[in-house]
Structure 1
Amino acid sequence: MTARVLIVDDIPTNVRLLEARLTAEYFDVVTASSGQQALDICNTSDVDIVLLDVMMPEMDGFEVCKRLKASSKTHHIPVLMITALDQPSDRVKGLEVGADDFLTKPVDDVQLMARVKSLVRLKALTDELRARALTGQQIAIEDAIRAMDKISAEGGSILIVDTDARHAERIKNYLGTTHKVDVLTQPADAVFQVTGAHYELALVSMALEDFDPLRVCSQIRTLEHTRTLPIILMADEADRPRVVRALDLGVNDFISRPVERNELAARVKTQIRRQRYAMELRESVNSTMAMAVTDDLTGLYNRRYFDRHLAMMLGKSQSQDRDMAVMMLDIDHFKSVNDAHGHDVGDAVLREFALRVKRNIRGVDLACRFGGEEFVVLMPDTDFRQAESVAERVRAAVADHGFDIAPGKALGVTVSLGVTLNESLSDTPESLLKRADVALYRAKREGRNRVVFDAA
Structure 2
Amino acid sequence: MTARILVVDDIPANVKLLEARLIADYYEVLTARDGYEALAICETCPVDLVLLDIMMPGIDGFEVCERLKANSRTAHIPVVMVTALDQPSDRVRGLKVGADDFLTKPVNDLQLMSRVKSLVRLKNVSDELRHRAETAHAIALQDMAARDRQEEPGSVLVVDGRASSQERIHKALAPIAEVTALSDPQAALFEAAESNFDLVIVNSNFEDYDPLRLCSQLRSLERTRYIPVLLVVEQGADDTVVRAFELGVTDYIMRPLDPNELVARSLTQIRRKRYNDRLRTSLQETIELAVTDGLTGLHNRRYLDNHLKLLIDRAVARGRELSLCITDIDRFKSVNDTYGHDVGDAVIREFARRIRSTVRGADLACRYGGEEFVVVMPDTTRETAESVAERLRFIVESIPFTIPGGEGPLSITASLGIASLVPGEDTPETLVRRADRALYEAKNSGRNRVVAAAA
State the distance in 1 between where 2:122 and 2:304 align.
Answer: 27
Q: Match of 1:29, SS?
A: strand
Q: Normalised by the size of structure 2, how large is the TM-score? A: 0.64
State the distance in 2 between where 1:227 and 1:233 align.
Answer: 16
Task: Report the AA paired with residue 186 of structure 1.
Answer: D
CA contact (8 A) 2:110 2:238 kept: no
Task: Report the AA paired with residue 144 of structure 2.
Answer: A
**Judging changes above 3 Å, is the alpha-carbon distance between structure 1 residues 302 and 2 closer, same or farther for their aligned structure 2 residues?**
farther
**2:265 paired residue among 264, 267, 270:** 267
CA contact (8 A) 1:81 1:94 kept: yes
State the distance in 2 between where 1:302 and 1:250 align.
Answer: 36
**Judging changes above 3 Å, is the alpha-carbon distance between structure 1 residues 304 and 25 closer, same or farther for their aligned structure 2 residues?**
farther
State the distance in 2 between where 1:232 and 1:263 align.
Answer: 12
Counterpart position of 2:318: 340
State how 1:100-115 maps to structure 2 within 5 Å: 100-115=100-115
Counterpart position of 2:59: 59
Task: Report the AA paired with residue 253 of structure 2.
Answer: I
1:287 shift after superposition = 2.6
Query: What 5-or-longer segments of structure 2 have no aligned partner?
Result: 323-455
CA contact (8 A) 1:6 1:32 kept: yes
Counterpart position of 2:223: 225
1:338 shift after superposition = 3.5
State how 1:230-309 maps to structure 2 within 5 Å: 230-289=228-287, 291-292=289-290
State how 1:178-217 maps to structure 2 within 5 Å: 178-217=176-215
Counterpart position of 1:151: 148
CA contact (8 A) 1:206 1:239 kept: no
Q: Per-residue displacement from partner, 1:12-32 (whole Å, max 9, x unpaired)?
A: 111111000000000000111
Counterpart position of 1:2: 2
State the distance in 2 between where 1:230 and 1:6 align.
Answer: 25
State the distance in 1 between where 2:172 and 2:30 align.
Answer: 40
If you compute each CA radius of gyration, which structure gives the higher value, 1 or 2?
Answer: 2
CA contact (8 A) 1:293 1:304 kept: no
State the distance in 2 between where 1:48 and 1:82 align.
Answer: 16
Counterpart position of 1:162: 160
CA contact (8 A) 2:216 2:248 kept: no
State the distance in 2 between where 1:288 and 1:21 align.
Answer: 41
CA contact (8 A) 1:154 1:269 kept: no
Counterpart position of 2:351: none
Q: Per-residue displacement from partner, 1:47-85 (whole Å, max 9, x unpaired)?
A: 000000001001100000000000000000000100100
State the distance in 2 between where 1:44 and 1:208 align.
Answer: 48
**Judging changes above 3 Å, is the alpha-carbon distance between structure 1 residues 58 and 24 closer, same or farther for their aligned structure 2 residues?**
same
State the distance in 2 between where 1:63 and 1:343 align.
Answer: 68
Q: Per-residue displacement from partner, 1:190-235 (whole Å, max 9, x unpaired)?
A: 2221232111111101122321111111222233232100110010
State the distance in 2 between where 1:102 and 1:193 align.
Answer: 31
Q: Per-residue displacement from partner, 1:119-138 (whole Å, max 9, x unpaired)?
A: 00111011101111133x2x
CA contact (8 A) 2:70 2:142 kept: no
Task: Report the AA paired with residue 197 of structure 1.
Answer: S
CA contact (8 A) 1:190 1:220 kept: no
State the distance in 2 between where 1:304 and 1:19 align.
Answer: 52
Aligned length: 315
Q: Match of 2:181, SS?
A: strand
Once the two structures are overlaid, the 10-residue window that deviates more, 289-298 or 262-271, is 289-298
**Judging changes above 3 Å, is the alpha-carbon distance between structure 1 residues 224 and 57 closer, same or farther for their aligned structure 2 residues?**
same
State how 1:280-429 maps to structure 2 within 5 Å: 280-289=278-287, 291-292=289-290, 338-340=316-318, 342=320
Q: Per-residue displacement from partner, 1:146-181 (whole Å, max 9, x unpaired)?
A: 222221365111111011121112211121233211
Counterpart position of 1:317: none
Identity within the alignment, %: 53
**Judging changes above 3 Å, is the alpha-carbon distance between structure 1 residues 340 and 133 closer, same or farther for their aligned structure 2 residues?**
same
CA contact (8 A) 2:129 2:280 kept: yes
Task: Report the AA paired with residue 79 of structure 1.
Answer: V
Q: Match of 1:54, SS?
A: coil
CA contact (8 A) 1:203 1:232 kept: yes
CA contact (8 A) 2:158 2:166 kept: yes
User: Once superposed, what is the RMSD of the aligned Cα atoms?
Assistant: 2.9
State how 1:43-54 maps to structure 2 within 5 Å: 43-54=43-54
Counterpart position of 2:172: 174
**Judging changes above 3 Å, is the alpha-carbon distance between structure 1 residues 57 and 287 closer, same or farther for their aligned structure 2 residues?**
same
State the distance in 2 between where 1:126 and 1:336 align.
Answer: 36
**Judging changes above 3 Å, is the alpha-carbon distance between structure 1 residues 166 and 284 closer, same or farther for their aligned structure 2 residues?**
same
Query: What 5-or-longer segments of structure 1 have no aligned partner?
Result: 306-330, 345-456
Q: Per-residue displacement from partner, 1:291-322 (whole Å, max 9, x unpaired)?
A: 33689999xx98999xxxxxxxxxxxxxxxxx
Q: Match of 2:237, SS?
A: helix
**Judging changes above 3 Å, is the alpha-carbon distance between structure 1 residues 103 and 297 closer, same or farther for their aligned structure 2 residues?**
farther
